[in-house]
Amino acid sequence: MAWTVEMAKDAETTFALGLLDTVRERGFAVANAIMDAGYDNGPIHDGCMDRGICPVTPLRQTTGVARGDHKPRVCEHGEWTFARTDYKRQATKWRCPTGECHQSRCGSRPTGCTR
């Protein structure tokens, strides 16, 4: 599909998006980019999303991950479950186990949310 040969000292994140562009130019339909944790950063995620590609990476052990920011919300009814992906807004949707708490009514964090 596409490749490049670089020095070991060169960060792969500097040419990863260009490789995705090259693959597309060669006629391949790229829907997902599965990468290692080194690609778990904003520019790679944003670049993939701008191209309509879903980035799939393991989480790097950042302060936010240690804090649990990546985990589903928890309300008085329990842990929220994944509902769907909203590709237009580039966001995921989550649902209260009973359906009583609504994210849209309560802003980004529902009442009683403990994370």
DSSP label of 114:
-
Q: Cα separation of 92 and 107, whole Å?
A: 14
Q: 86-110: per-residue pLDDT in tens?
A: 777 777 888 898 888 876 544 444 4
Q: Is 94 exposed, middle or buried (CB count within 10 Å of its CB: 0-12, 13-18, 19+)?
A: middle
4, two tokens: 């490049």
In terms of pTM, does the model score above 0.85?
Answer: no
Q: Cα separation of 37 and 16, whole Å?
A: 13
Work out the number of other CB atoms within 10 angstroms of the CB of residue 14: 10
Q: 33-92: per-residue pLDDT in tens?
A: 999 888 888 899 899 989 989 899 888 888 888 888 888 888 888 899 888 887 777 778
SS (H, E, C) 73-111: CEECCEECEEEEEECCCCEEEEECCCCCCCHHHHCCCCC
State which H helix or E strand residue 104 sits in.
Answer: helix 103-106
85, two tokens: 């992906």
Contact criterion met (CB below 8 Å) for 20 and 28: no
CA angle 66, 80, 47 (to 5 degrees): 60
